[in-house]
Amino acid sequence: MGSKAQFRFSFGPWNIHEGADVFGPDVRESVPFSEKLAVYKNLGFEGVQFHDDDAVSDVDVSHDQMIKEAKEMKKALDNEGLVAEFVAPRLWEHPITADGGYTANDPKAREYALERSKKAIDIANELGTKKIVLWPAREGIYVNESKDHRLSSQRFVHALNTMLEYDKGIKILGEMKPNEPMDHAYVPTTGHFLSLAYKTVDPERVGTLIESAHAILAGLDPAIEMAFAIYHDKLWSVHLNDQNGLKFDEDRVFGAINLKRAFDQVLVLYENDFGANGEFVGLDIKAIRTQKAGEATRHLANSKEIFLLLLDVVKSLDTRKLEEYRSSRNYEDLELFIIKTLMGK
Ligand code: XUL
Ligand code: MN
C-alpha cells in the first residue's frame, strides 16, 4: 500500500501529571516543566501541545509580561529541539467561566472567553505555531432550559469569527467531546463542529482535532470519524488514546483496550497520507493513578510503540486479499482475516 504518510509525535505536558481524580488527591509529585521537556526527546517526541497557561505562568498578567514569558518558552523549546504543535485556551478553570465561555448567559463571561482566546493566539504566534485547539469544555448545559440553544450556536460561530478576524494567519481546530464536564455539550461531535465551520467568515481556516476517546464517548468509531474529517481536508491533528465503553473520558493507552479499533485508526491515517502536511500524531493519555512516579511516562512511550507496531501490521496488510473479501462481500471472513493479521497468524 503506497502512502505519503509521515508520522511524528506530540503530547501535552498535562499528560505527565500527579494522578489526582475526582475522588482522591495527587499520588505523584509534580514534575517541573523543564524536566517534562527533557522527556519529549528521550521518548522520541518532537511536538509539544500547550494550553495557554502551560506556556506562560498566568494569562491574567500584563500583556508584556505574558509575551516575555512566551518568548522564553520558545527559547526553551529551541534548546531542546522541540516545536510547539498548538495552543489551546484553557477556558474551563476560571470562576468566571463556571457556566461556560463563548455561550455563557453572562456577557462578562463571554467577553473573558473571547479575550482569553485572543491571548492564546498571541502566545501561539510567539511559540511559532498557527494552530489553536478549542476544546469547548463548558459550552453546554446541565439544565436544558437554562440556555437558548439556537443562540448558543450563533454565539459559538461569533467566537470562531472573532478569532479568525483577530489573526488572519491562524487555524482553529475544534476538539469535540459529547459530555464531561457538561451533561450535554454544545457541538458534541466533529460533524457538528464542521457544520459550524462552514458558517464562519473563513471556513478554510477551521478544521478539527479528533480524540479517539471523545468519538467513542459519542458512540462513534474514531477511524470513521477521522476518515470523515479527512474527506473534508480538515483532519489537522489527532489525540490518540483508548476508552473502555461509555463512561468518563479515560485517556487510556492507545490500543490497550481495543487493539482492532486502534489498528483501524492507524490504517485510516496511513491510507490517507496523514502527516504529509506536517500534521502531528498527537497523544492525549493519562498515566493510571496506580503508576509510581518515575515510571509515569511509560503510558506515552508505550502508546507510541503500539502505534508503530500497528503501523508495521498496516504496511504488511495483504490488500489484495482485503479487496477480494470486499468484492465477494465475505465480511465474516474479512473480519477473521484482520483478527488473524493482528495476531500475526
Ligand atoms: C479534554 C481534552 C483536553 C484537550 C485540550 O477531554 O481532551 O485535554 O485535549 O484542551
Ligand atoms: Mn484531548
pLDDT at 2 (0 to 100): 81
Amino acid making up residue 282: G
- Residue 168: Cβ-neighbour burial (10 angstroms; 0-12, 13-18, 19+): exposed
pLDDT at 324 over 70: yes
| CB-CB contact of 249 with 243 (8 Å) | yes
Spot the catalytic one: 51, 192, 239, 299: 51
Could you tell me how far CA 71 lies from the centroid of its own chain?
Answer: 24
pLDDT number for residue 294 = 86
Nearest ligand 1 atom to alpha carbon 135: 10
Q: Which of 21, 26, 53, 54 is catalytic?
A: 54
Q: What is the mean pLDDT of residues 187-209?
A: 98
Q: In angstroms, how far is the first alpha carbon of the chain from the final one? A: 20
DSSP per-residue codes, 151-162: HHHHHHHHHHHH
- For the question of whether the overall pTM of this predicted structure is more than 0.95, the answer is yes
Sign of CA dihedral 240, 241, 244, 246: negative
- Name the residue with the closest Cα to ligand 1, atom 5: 135
| pLDDT above 70 as % of the chain | 100
Q: Which atom of ligand 1 is nearest to the CA of 49?
A: 5
Using one digit for the tens of pLDDT, what is the confidence trace for 89-99? Answer: 999 999 999 99
Q: Which ligand is nearest to the CA of 284?
A: 2
Atom of ligand 1 nearest to the CA of 51: 10
How far is ligand 2, taken at its centre, from the CA of residue 294, in Å?
A: 23
Q: Which three cell numbers stand for residue 238?
A: 489527532
The ligand 1 site (C-beta within 6 Å) comprises: 88, 133, 135, 175, 177, 211, 239, 249, 284
- Does position 177 have pLDDT exceeding 90, yes or no? yes
The type of residue at 244 is N
Active site (annotated) includes residue 158: no
pLDDT of 104 > 90? The answer is yes
Q: Quick one: pLDDT band at residue 24, thresholds 50, 70, 90?
A: very high
Distance between Cα 263 and ligand 1 center (Å): 22
> Which residue's CA is the nearest one to ligand 1's atom 2?
135
Cα(238) to centroid(ligand 1), Å: 11
pLDDT value for 295: 87
Does residue 51 carry a catalytic annotation? yes
Predicted pLDDT at 1: 67
From ligand 1's centre to the CA of 52, what distance in Å?
Answer: 13
pLDDT, tens digit, 9 for 90 and up, residues 260-314: 999 999 999 999 999 999 999 999 999 999 999 988 999 999 999 999 999 999 9
